[in-house]
Amino acid sequence: MADFTAKDVQALRQSSGAGMMDAKRALVENDGDAEAASQWLREKGLSKAASRSDRENNQGAVAVASGEGVAAIVELKSETDFVAKSDQFKDLAQDIATLVLADGEAAAAQKADAIDELKVTLKENIELGRVVRFDAAEANVLDTYLHVQSERGVNAVLVELAGGTPELAHDISVHIAFTKPPYLNRDEVPAEDVEAERKSLEAITKAEGKPEQAWPKIIEGRINGWYKERVLLDQSFVRDEKQSVAQYLGDASIVRFAQVVIGA
């Protein structure tokens, strides 16, 4: 058997961009000679993964896994939707989500070699994107929602509620999927963003020639509208726009939420 170590395999992987198994096989086929192994990978068309790393990969798939009081979202990124909707790609995304559900977000790193292998097989810049895992507090309700488009998940949501029902949590999940709010409440919005928007609205309002005494009320109304676009609790609930999300929740409260959208 060829004489080489795990460090030799890692070094060849880094220099060639090949997957672990291909790097190992190259060393076996070339009696541990790193230079010959590198040439072998090149000739086999297996050393191109590194050159793909600079390509845009704003396509992909999101997968969701859930259990009793625990749920996870994993994003796997690709260059094209054609690759993203392939069974190999979707299966790997789901495998990683299942692993994260069981062992935590850091466990996704265990699939690095599988991602490298798929990068070579499908000839695209494939990489792990966002990874989220919620472990709900006892008595809280956890819901997941996955929107599927072009044969793969493209929009995933996790919601944890306190004092609510599974039905309410699901309603909120669907609302988030549709409206895509970046913040739960106003306190989460960066103060500098609020100040910049207020200054912009002040300039717009003054330029409109409105009476000066009306400016504060107009500006405040516009700031509220700006918050409504970004803050979940301020938004009009999609199934009953006469109510805000905060009103629809009643005595329940949203502990946290997460959303992963392909291309966002």
Segment 135-192, tens digit of pLDDT: 999 999 999 999 999 899 999 999 999 999 999 999 999 999 999 999 999 999 999 9
Q: Which of 21-25, 96-100, 137-141 has the lowest mean pLDDT?
A: 21-25
Whether residues 203 and 100 fall in one domain: no
Provide the pLDDT for residue 113. Answer: 85
Q: At 87, phi and psi to the nearest 5?
A: -60, -40
Average pLDDT of span 103-130? 90
Based on the domain organization, do 163 and 104 belong to the same domain? yes
Q: Are residues 18 and 121 in the same domain?
A: no
d(CA 204, CA 206): 6
199 and 68 fall within a common domain: no
Give the residue with greater pLDDT, 197 vs 1: 197
Structure tokens at 62: 């999101």
Question: How much is the pLDDT for 264?
Answer: 83
Per DSSP, helices labelled H in the chain are: 6-16, 20-29, 34-43, 49-52, 81-84, 87-103, 112-122, 166-179, 191-207, 215-230, 245-249
Mean pLDDT of 22-28: 87
Residue 51 pLDDT level (bands cut at 50, 70, 90): low
Tell me which residue range forms the domain holding 104: 59-185+238-261
Indicate the SS3 state at residue 263: coil
Average pLDDT over residues 21-46: 83
- Asked whether the beta carbons of 153 and 147 are under 8 A apart, the reply is yes
Please write the tens of the pLDDT for every residue from 208-250: 988 899 999 999 999 999 999 999 999 999 999 999 999 999 9
CA dihedral angle for residue 45, residue 58, residue 100, residue 73, rounded to 10 degrees: -150
Identify the CATH number of the domain in which residue 167 sits. Answer: 3.30.479.20
Instruction: Answer yes or no: do 212 and 108 share one domain.
Output: no
Handedness of CA 28, 29, 34, 40 (dihedral sign): negative
Cα–Cα distance between 226 and 6 in angstroms, integer? 55
Is there a domain that residue 52 lies in?
A: no
Angle of helix 6-16 versus helix 20-29 axis, rounded to 10: 110
The reply to whether the predicted model has a pTM over 0.85 is no
Residue for token digits 């009643």? 250
